[in-house]
Amino acid sequence: MDILRKHLDKTCSAAIKEIQQVPSGLAIWPKDGPGLQLLTEHRELLERLIQGATAEVEQKWAIYALPNAPQQYTSYDGTQVPVTEQMALDEFKLQTGLSPLRFYRSNKNPLSGTLVMAVPETQVQTVPKRVYLFGENIPIKHKPLRPRIEQCTQCWDYHNPRTCTRIPRCRICSQKDHSEELHSHHNHKKSPEPNCANCCGPFPADHSNCPTKPTIQQGVIQRLSRSQFIALNVGRNWEAHETALQLAFESDCHAVLIQEPWIFTDRSRRISKHHPSFHQLAPIEDWSNRPRVLTYIQKHPHLKAELVPFGPTSRDILAVRINTPQKTALLVNIYNAPRNAVDEGQGLESLMTQTIPSLPCLIAGDFNLRHPNWQSSAQPSLRAEPFLAWAESQDLTLTLPPDSPTRGQNMIDLSWANSALLSLGISSEVAADLPPLADHEPILTTIQWSINNLPRDTPPFRWSTHNDKLFQETLQGEKRHVDGITSTLPPCPSPSQLDELALSITQAISTSLEASTKRVYPRPCGHKWWNQDCSSVVRTLRRTVRDPMSTPEGIEDAKRTLRRVVRHSKRQFWRSKVDEFEEPKDVFNAVKWNRTEGTLPISPLKEGDRLHTSTDDKASYLVRALLQKTSCSEDVELNLEPISNPTLPFPAITEKEIYTAVAKPKNSTPGKDGITTSILRKAWPALGPAISTLYRHCLEQGWHPTPFRDASLVAIPKPGKRDRSSPRAYRLIALLSVLGKGLERLIARRMAWIAIKCKVLHPQQFGALPLRSATDLAAALIHDVEEAWSRGLKASMLTLDVQGAFDAILSGRLIRRLREQGWPTNVVQWVASFTQGRTASLRLGNHTSQTYQVPAGLPQGSPISPILFMLFIEPIFKQGSVCARRGRFGYADDICQLVASPSLEKNCTVLQHCTEELRQWGAREGLTFDFNKTELQHFTRGTNHSNPTCSIHTSQGSHTVTPPPPGGATRWLGIWFDRRLSFSKHCRTLVAKAKQTTAGVRSLANTVRGTKAHLLRQATVACVISVLCYGAEAWWPGRNRPRPRNQGSVSNRVDSSLSCLDRVLRDALRGTLPVYRTTPIPALHRETAIPPMEIILDQKRASARLRVARLDNRHPVHRRLFRTRPFPVNTRLIHNHLPWLQGVEQTDPLVYPPWQTENPKTIQNICPTRDRAEATAAYEGLKAACDSAQAPYTQNLYVLLDNQEVAQQLQGVTVLVHDLCT
């Protein structure tokens, strides 16, 4: 072979990949297509070098059989003439015109006379199905080539030996450090025992009964699928960590067991390296004590992984159960800390306390143990003998060949398997093809098992492929079926008919979406920043590691090169991505990078002494604990009798209302049908009449369609919950049909407006209500405290939380409450239909549970759930004395009770009495309060250090609520209330939160590169300033306040807080502009057009003034501002708003209902934008003038305005004025 290369020129020799001896001569493989063309051009040269040979391009043949072909025929004289192969070939050519490459009679059964022919694959289409040979019609049948199972004689795997590039193994013991000749020497007694390289059985690698040998089924080689697992200690190095994950992905590994992973310095965020093709699992929830093992499971649609408890919770050991339909295995990832390390030996001690289950089990990791059993030159470590005794008792076998160094010359990384796993076929080796960047070698374990198909969920739509034209065309065809159902509806349709109409609308949109939009079928992908340079350096490192002539220094240089290339590639990728930002949403998402937290699967859940580990058990327990309320027996009988005299109005819905509720909202996560708001907006022209008909009939008949009551639940961890094993640490969000949410939103808006207008709700009960925000409630609370101070009193605040909130609402009691409040019959019946017969399935990761019945509660995520909850707890604000009710505030399920008296001890007594009244009311209504969340805060202006506690009597006993120390604060509605209402703790909290966002802004640009300045300015305004100003309308008092009796002003002592806020703002401005640190501060404010914090806070205060002018007279802020008092009060609310509001006209937002049709003879026609205060005041003044006593004697009426737009709107109202005068 070498002689042939020497006689060819360099170009031809470089084009040859391989030359091998084959039965027909020599086979020359070119490297690529151009190489094949070059060798074809030099065909004559090759023929001269190989004397007497013909050089030709390989042709693929197609084999055909002619069964029962005649072996003789009768001649004209009656004699029998035998048919030879040449005679048959000549006859075949004459009949078909084809020239087969080969034509011969089969040797398998000479009596059958079967003929076999071979033709080039290019002529397959011209081969007839039958042919006449010597008077007989013979069929021509295609004979598929029977594949041949080949076993490589180098690595002894089952593949083509000519293309094998692996390290040779010994045939007998499968080791790589010697050949088969070692076993034939005289010292064969010291040689290793036989071990199959494929099934790990005590046989040579080529034994005929190997269970992993491929089989041939229907002419196709069926190979037994393999699962590969990698265990590696990355030494807390991020380059080694990410490179290991990427190389494991490229090697199609199903699991990666990492020891000593890289962990981000801020451990509260639980961030480690991730990979887009792997799920990350951690042994502990609290990362304040960093985990020392992490397991990554491939995001395979047919692979499920679950955390399982394995002894006491430890950061050094992690057990994961891998499930497939036929098999289940346990992977144990372990790190045993060495001597003189923190928690040394803890991982091994935890492991040895456990009993290995009977299912297949693999234990791998960094054991930090030495013993002659696996390293012949080593002395036993301290814990090696006890571990060996335990491993023997558990029937564990070392799968890694002995004397396989994993760190330097030592073998301290091990892999063990029990007998159940050994029976499947398992092998472990030091992975030379996965060169590490750490000082440990990776262990590659191969298990002979297949991962069969699991039922996969329907993937979501890929909206980038949506074809709007095809969607509209398909929808027009589906519209005919919907119109047919709509046209046959009677005036009072039945619930089944409404369900059919709702289902037909949903199916029409879904069918159109399926025809016009592709679905997202997830495919595994690697790191986006991993480029060709990284792959090239990895190949170089592999060659260096395999080369026996490589020195340790050369290998280390290659590793350093890979680290440098990885760092450079990742840095350049993200820099270019940041530089290419063009939309504000891209910048907003990038700013969040600094606040992201690690995403981990739900931990095993505790139910008493029982631990739920499987995904199905977790889903079932979450639904039982949170949705299937155990106190449903406390519900009352459902009363749906018609209400004779409802006291609350509820007019018929309008077309505009329906469109606004369906098509105007922003996109949200769709329900099970996958239909979004944007799709409904596109479908409205075709299906709008049908949707309007459905909504009208549903409200008239009091029926919520059944398809809209099926939800998909998602478990969201509650922030700040450390115990993730409790179901109360999660919130189940319902993903409902967007079409059904349109109907819910329409009814919710009406009920919210009616509840305010008709005084159903208490004025100080806030939530999902128009013109009622959390800061308004906080401002009212602060005003009441300061007013109590002005009267020489001390105030105390107690916060309460309704346990379960939406999930605790019982349908029968809710219907009874609505009937008591006077809602119409159809509304009550619709709410009953909405809360009854609900079903839901829970999504945990990629797994969707079965469908469960939800007999109680309101779905979180529904637009109407908040207002229904508020209507249900409305009696809370009517309990107790008048003083108690005045000091009771509520925002959704957060209740606050404020009391004032001359002493704090008396406040605690009153709070105790108020809480007992609310607790008794909750017991009667099936609600409970979570007193573990109850907080107490005292408010005093002087230096009184008294800090009494409050005792609450519950059914379980007495519960003592301890207030924070005098320098502490209590958080309510996102605002930290301290003892003297200085809000210094609140400002410090805002500063700490804004610093994270500021760091995100500053990381996106500098003086050389980065995102455009105008995009960063938008991010600063939206993400930094909004955080710094949260609640400023309530707590910001201004720099000065007036003295009593107008004797000048006094400082509010806000310099310290302003300084902290300004410091963060300046840091954000320096990140917004490409400037240096020494840039003057006034220049920063001028170039960004962002003023200092004091001006921004004053602007917030001024905006609040304008907003107060548009509030109704029942609003708590409005009532406190304009209430007459027998004594002077100067609170920050009055100081900020009242002097300015006394000279401004007021508007009432409750004058016109939002659903009222515009009347040409009302103010809506004169001033369509009825929020304009000037137009409203002008019209009211005009009306008052017409109603005056002098109007009949007046000929001219003059309206003086300084607004041209309002003057134009008032033109042409002579008829209206005449009507008013008459």
Q: Which CATH number fits domain 225-447: 3.30.470.10, 2.60.40.1730, 3.60.10.10, 3.40.50.620?
A: 3.60.10.10
d(C-alpha 796, C-alpha 785), whole Å: 8
- pLDDT of 1222 above 80: no
Task: Using pLDDT thresholds of 50, 70 and 90, give the confidence band for residue 535.
Answer: very high
Confidence of residue 747 (pLDDT cuts 50, 70, 90): very high
Task: Give me 589's structure tokens.
Answer: 């998402």
- Residue 708's pLDDT band, with cuts at 50, 70 and 90, is very high
Count of CB atoms situated within 10 Å of the CB of 660: 17
- Joined tokens for residue 656: 């505009």
Give the chain's end-to-end CA distance (angstroms, integer).
118
The model's pTM is: 0.80
The span from the CA of 1182 to the CA of 1197, in Å, is 9
Under 8 Å between Cβ of 39 and 46: yes
> Whole-angstrom Cα distance, residue 232 to residue 257?
6
Question: Is the pLDDT at 737 greater than 70, yes or no?
Answer: yes
**What is the residue type of 837?**
G
Helix orientation angle between 811-821 and 825-835, rounded to the nearest 10 degrees = 170
Largest CA distance in the chain: 146
- How large is the average pLDDT for residues 691-715? 94
- Residues with Cβ within 8 Å of residue 1000, at least 6 apart in sequence: 590, 591, 592, 593, 594, 595, 1023
Torsion of CA 1128, 1130, 1133, 1135, to 10 degrees: 110
Beta bridge partners of 428: 445
φ and ψ of 292, to 5 deg: -110, 5
Q: How far apart are CA 644 and CA 763, in angstroms?
A: 28
Look at 37 and 199; give whichever has higher pLDDT: 37
**Helix (H) or strand (E) segment spanning residue 535:** helix 532-546
Q: Which of 992, 698, 667 is nearest to 827 (CA)?
A: 698
Q: Which of 174, 228, 180, 177 is nearest to 197 (CA)?
A: 174
What is the number of H-type helices and E-type strands within the chain?
37, 41
Q: Dihedrals φ, ψ of 30, to 5°?
A: -75, 160
pLDDT, average across residues 66-80: 83
SS3 382: coil
CA torsion angle for 691, 695, 700, 701 (degrees, to 10)? 90
- Cα four-point dihedral sign 1191, 1192, 1193, 1194: positive
pLDDT for the residue numbered 191: 66
Eight-class DSSP state of 1149: T
The CA distance from 91 to 132, in Å, is 9
The residue with greater pLDDT, 819 or 203, is 819
d(CA 788, CA 1129): 9
Residue 427 or residue 690, greater confidence = 690
Q: What value, to the nearest 5°, has the Cα angle with vertex 821 and ends 781 and 827?
A: 115
% residues pLDDT > 70 (the chain): 92
- How far apart CA 15 and CA 6 sit, in angstroms, is 13
Query: What are 839's strand-pairing partners?
Result: 710, 853
Q: In the structure, what pLDDT confidence band is assigned to residue 1217 with cuts at 50, 70 and 90?
A: very low
Q: How far apart are CA 1040 and CA 311, in angstroms?
A: 62
Residue 1221 pLDDT exceeds 60? no
Residues forming beta bridges with residue 585, ordered by sequence position:
none
CA distances from 804 to 562, 628, 856, 873, 1110 (A): 53, 12, 11, 13, 35
Over residues 1063-1090, the mean pLDDT reads 94
Q: With beta carbons less than 8 A apart as the criterion, state whether 296 and 244 touch.
A: no
pLDDT at 1159 over 50: no
Locate 799 and state its tokens: 């916060």
Residue 1213 has pLDDT above 50, yes or no: no
Instruction: Tell how strand 888-891 and strand 61-66 pair up.
Output: unpaired
CA 800 to CA 320: how far, in whole Å? Answer: 40
Confirm if 293 and 348 have CB atoms less than 8 A apart.
no
Asked if residues 598 and 284 have their Cβ atoms less than 8 Å apart, the reply is no
Highest average pLDDT, of 687-696, 840-849, 1047-1056, 1183-1192, comes from 687-696
The three-state secondary structure class of 1211 is: coil
CB 622 within 8 A of CB 734: no
Predicted local distance difference test score (pLDDT) of residue 687: 94
d(CA 538, CA 540): 5
Residue 162, classed as helix, strand or coil, is helix
pLDDT for res 4: 66
Give the model confidence (pLDDT) of 923-954 as tens digits. 888 888 989 899 999 999 887 778 999 999 88
Burial group, residue 497, by CB count within 10 angstroms (0-12, 13-18, 19+): middle
When pLDDT is cut at 50, 70 and 90, the band that residue 74 belongs to is confident
**Tokens 């289950």 identify what position?**
357
| Number of other CB atoms surrounding residue 1017 within 10 Å | 21
**596 close to 999: Cβ distance less than 8 angstroms:** no
pLDDT tens, position by position, 180-215: 877 776 554 556 778 787 777 778 888 887 877 887
Please write the tens of the pLDDT for every residue from 757-801: 999 999 999 988 988 999 999 999 999 999 999 999 999 999 999
**Do the Cβ atoms of 1031 and 986 come closer than 8 Å?**
yes
Contact 616, 849 (CB under 8 A): yes
| Residue 318: predicted pLDDT | 95
Structure tokens at 287: 């990362």
What does each C-alpha distance from 528 to 16, 560, 1087 come to in angstroms? 34, 22, 36
Highest mean pLDDT among 30-39, 170-179, 185-194, 401-410: 401-410
pLDDT recorded at residue 1220: 36
Residue pair 451/300 in contact (Cβ under 8 Å)? The answer is yes
Beta strands in 968-1075 (DSSP E): 969-972, 975-978, 1040-1042, 1049-1051
